Amino acid sequence: MSRAFNFSAGPAVLPLEVLEASKQAIYDYNGLGMSIMEMSHRSKEYDEIIKTAQADVLKLMELSPNEYDVLFLGGGASLQFYMVPFNFLRKKANYITTGVWASKAAKEAEKVGETKIIASSKDTNYNYIPKEYKADDDADYLHITTNNTIYGTEWCKDVEGVKIPVVADMSSDMFAVQRDFKRYDMIYAGAQKNIGPAGVTLVVIKKSFLEKRKDIVYPNMLNYKLHIDKESMFNTPPCMNIYVVGQVLKWVMKTGLGNVEANNRKKAAVLYDFMDNSNGFYTPTVKVKEDRSLMNVAFLIKGGNPDLEAKFVKEAREKYNMANLKGHRDVGGLRASIYNACPIEWVEALTKFMGEFQVANK
CATH classification of the domain holding 312: 3.90.1150.10
Residue 104 has pLDDT above 70, yes or no: yes
Q: Spot the catalytic one: 101, 155, 251, 346.
A: 101
- Both 191 and 337 in one domain: the answer is no
pLDDT in tens, 31-56: 999 999 999 999 999 999 999 999 99
Q: State the amino acid at position 209 in one-letter form.
A: F
Under the banding of pLDDT at 50, 70 and 90, the label for residue 330 is confident
- Both 111 and 204 in one domain: the answer is yes
Q: What is the pLDDT of residue 215?
A: 86
Domain assignment of residue 143, yes or no:
yes
- Both 55 and 66 in one domain: the answer is yes
Active site annotation includes 193: yes
Choose one of 255, 283, 314: the last residue of a domain: 255
- Both 91 and 136 in one domain: the answer is yes
Under the banding of pLDDT at 50, 70 and 90, the label for residue 284 is very high
Domain assignment of residue 2, yes or no:
no
Q: What percent of the chain has pLDDT over 70?
A: 100
Active site annotation includes 155: no
Q: Which of left, alpha, beta for 345 (phi over 0: left; psi -120 to 50: alpha)? A: alpha
Q: What percent of the chain has pLDDT over 90?
A: 95
pLDDT in tens, 146-160: 999 999 999 999 998
Rounded Cα–Cα distance for residues 73 and 295 (Å)? 24
By the 10 Å C-beta count (0-12 exposed, 13-18 middle, 19+ buried), 9 is classed as buried
Domain assignment of residue 11, yes or no:
no
Q: State the amino acid at position 83 in one-letter form.
A: M
- Both 191 and 269 in one domain: the answer is no
Rounded Cα–Cα distance for residues 211 and 34 (Å)? 41
Q: Average per-residue pLDDT in the chain?
A: 96
Q: What is the pTM of this model?
A: 0.96
Q: What is the pLDDT of residue 151?
A: 95
Mean pLDDT computed over 98-126: 97
| Domains identified in the chain, total number | 2
Residue 1 has pLDDT above 90, yes or no: no
What CATH number has the domain bearing residue 187? 3.40.640.10
Choose one of 255, 277, 293: the last residue of a domain: 255
Residue 186 has pLDDT above 90, yes or no: yes
- Both 175 and 102 in one domain: the answer is yes
Domain assignment of residue 180, yes or no:
yes
pLDDT in tens, 233-251: 999 999 999 999 999 999 9
Domain assignment of residue 3, yes or no:
no
Residue 359 has pLDDT above 70, yes or no: yes
- Both 22 and 147 in one domain: the answer is yes
Residue 16 has pLDDT above 70, yes or no: yes
- Please name which of 206, 354, 196 lies closest in space to residue 282, comparing C-alpha atoms: 354
| Bond preceding residue 219 cis, omega within 30 of 0 | yes
- Both 204 and 246 in one domain: the answer is yes
Choose one of 255, 279, 305: the last residue of a domain: 255
Domain assignment of residue 249, yes or no:
yes
Domain assignment of residue 4, yes or no:
no
Q: Spot the catalytic one: 69, 169, 185, 291.
A: 169
- Both 200 and 247 in one domain: the answer is yes
List Cβ neighbours of 171 (8 Å cut-off, separation of 6 or more). Answer: 77, 101, 145, 147, 149, 188, 189, 190, 193, 194
Mean pLDDT computed over 184-197: 96
Q: Which domain holds residue 181?
A: 16-255
- Both 244 and 101 in one domain: the answer is yes
Angle CA(293)–CA(344)–CA(340) in degrees, nearest 5? 55
- Both 214 and 288 in one domain: the answer is no
Q: Spot the catalytic one: 185, 193, 206, 267.
A: 193
pLDDT in tens, 202-232: 999 999 999 999 988 889 999 999 999 999 9
Mean pLDDT computed over 317-341: 94
By the 10 Å C-beta count (0-12 exposed, 13-18 middle, 19+ buried), 254 is classed as exposed
- Both 114 and 199 in one domain: the answer is yes
Domain assignment of residue 344, yes or no:
yes
- The upper half-sphere exposure of residue 149, i.e. CA atoms within 13 Å in the direction of its Cβ, equals 26
Q: Which of left, alpha, beta for 270 (phi over 0: left; psi -120 to 50: alpha)? A: alpha
